[in-house]
């Protein structure tokens, strides 16, 4: 859900276009033959494997992996992704032939434009019938009118804070992050796209992702002004959660706020989450099929399984706890679990958030973030 790399954009050659057309036809033929709800040999097409998946932390949950293999007979090899940029670099390198990848939705076009992924016929994925309406055919998952990414987990970003230290009224204003009373009390994580984008939005930019030159410098200046309040810039979400729970930090900005809130509350910390009136930021993961996979039917079966209510319940209330896109999951959880995950408030939070988009100039943003980190 975070990170940035220098990207190499590869335009598809005429040969690539012809190959793509052949694969699209094969995709339709295989998808029509496979019964994704049945065992491995349902229909006439045998699911093949093993399936190599490059995904964020949590997708290697043993229960999730076991469930897919028991259903299909296909073994999974899952490598944990470090960042969106790293996923793109690994797929481009081709050292490992991945079949399915898991980039954030806003990176969909980068993968498709580089000729790395295939469009997906959503009609061939029965589990998608249970997808929350807000996550069906979102523009971030589409390229040239075709769906390339299937949403799975998502989250919102705002402020998670101790209400005895910060009032709800104060937390409703984005300027709280720069309030001198919070000197050395706010933590963030190493997620440049999120913080530069949110700061750009908060200083009034309609499209922060387009910021370069003087406009990007304004964002950077605002971020640098935040440094006195920054207790730490952590490498991972776990540390900001524990520091908030232990009251070493009074507030966590971003870092997937709903997940931070859930984890802290389950640890006994009665913290609150606020989306400032200036707006919050959303993230959303997707599953995408790598062009050239030799296990196309199995890749489809995997995506259908991972978007099913059974699998998404495990993602929502397993070792990790995140909001998921299957509407039936809420009915499978207890009222206490729904409240702990913030699903009772998620509609309100999402309505006040925009999807934070990947920067147009990754190099410039990487340089700006490095400058911010160096102080």
pLDDT, tens digit, for every residue of 55-82?
A: 999 999 999 999 999 999 999 999 999 9
CATH number at 215 reads 3.40.190.10
Strand locations in the chain, DSSP E?
51-55, 76-80, 100-101, 142-143, 146-147, 150-157, 159-161, 186-189, 230-234, 251-253, 272-274, 280-289, 323-324, 353-355
Mean pLDDT of the 179-200 span: 97
Least confident of 33-42, 217-226, 331-340, 357-366: 33-42
Residue 282, beta-bridge partner list: 156, 355
Quick one: 316 and 334 in the same domain? yes
Q: What is the pLDDT of residues 297-346, one digit of tens each?
A: 999 999 999 999 999 999 999 998 999 999 999 999 999 999 999 999 99
Decide if pLDDT at 283 tops 70: yes
Residue 348: inside a domain: no
Distance CA 262, CA 337 (A): 10
2 found inside a domain: no
Q: Name which of 60, 73, 74, 135 is nearest 329 in CA terms.
A: 135
Q: Are residues 332 and 256 in the same domain?
A: no
- Looking at the structure of the chain, the number of domains it has is 2
Tell me: do 367 and 250 sit in the same domain: yes
Tally of residues, the chain: 375
Q: Are residues 180 and 150 in the same domain?
A: no
Domain match, 140 and 175 both: no
Question: Are 202 and 76 part of one and the same domain?
Answer: no
Residue 231 lies in a domain: yes
Q: Which structural domain range is residue 299 located in?
A: 14-154+283-342
One domain for residues 89 and 33: yes
Does any domain span residue 7?
Answer: no
Q: What average pLDDT does the structure give for the chain? A: 90
Longest dimension (CA), the chain: 67
pLDDT over 90 for what percent of the chain?
Answer: 85
């Amino acid at each position: 859900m975070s990170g940035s790399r220098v990207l190499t954009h590869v335009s598809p050659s005429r040969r690539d276009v012809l190959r793509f057309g052949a694969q699209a036809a094969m995709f339709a033929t295989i998808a029509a033959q496979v019964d994704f709800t049945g065992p491995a040999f349902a229909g006439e097409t045998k699911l093949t494997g093993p399936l190599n998946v490059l995904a964020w932390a949590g997708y290697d949950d043993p229960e999730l992996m076991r469930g897919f293999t028991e259903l299909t007979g296909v073994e999974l090899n899952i490598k944990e992704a470090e960042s969106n940029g790293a996923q793109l670099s690994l797929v481009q390198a081709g050292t490992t032939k991945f079949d399915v990848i898991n980039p954030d939705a806003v990176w969909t076009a980068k993968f498709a434009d580089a000729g790395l992924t295939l469009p997906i016929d959503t009609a061939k994925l029965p589990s998608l019938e249970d997808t929350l309406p807000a996550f069906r055919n979102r523009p971030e998952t589409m390229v040239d009118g075709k769906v390339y990414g299937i949403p799975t987990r998502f989250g919102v970003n705002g402020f998670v804070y101790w209400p005895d230290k910060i009032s709800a009224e104060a937390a409703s204003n984005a300027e709280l992050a720069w309030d001198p009373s919070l000197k050395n009390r706010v933590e963030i994580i190493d997620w440049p796209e999120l913080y530069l984008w949110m700061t750009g939005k908060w200083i009034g930019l309609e499209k922060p992702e387009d910021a370069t030159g003087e406009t990007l410098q304004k964002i950077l200046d605002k971020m640098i002004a935040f440094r006195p309040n920054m207790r730490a810039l952590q490498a991972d979400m776990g540390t900001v959660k524990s520091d908030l729970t232990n009251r070493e930090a009074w507030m966590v900005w971003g870092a997937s706020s709903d997940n931070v809130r859930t984890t802290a509350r389950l640890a006994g910390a009665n913290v609150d989450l606020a989306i400032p009136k200036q707006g919050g930021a959303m993230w959303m993961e997707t599953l995408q099929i790598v062009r050239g996979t030799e296990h196309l039917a199995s890749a489809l079966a995997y995506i259908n399984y991972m978007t099913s209510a059974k699998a998404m319940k495990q993602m929502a209330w397993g070792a990790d706890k995140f909001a998921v896109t299957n509407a039936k999951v809420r009915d499978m959880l207890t009222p206490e679990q729904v409240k702990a995950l913030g699903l009772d408030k998620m509609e309100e939070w999402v309505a006040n958030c925009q999807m934070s988009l990947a920067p147009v100039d990754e190099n410039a943003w990487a340089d700006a973030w490095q400058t911010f980190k160096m102080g």
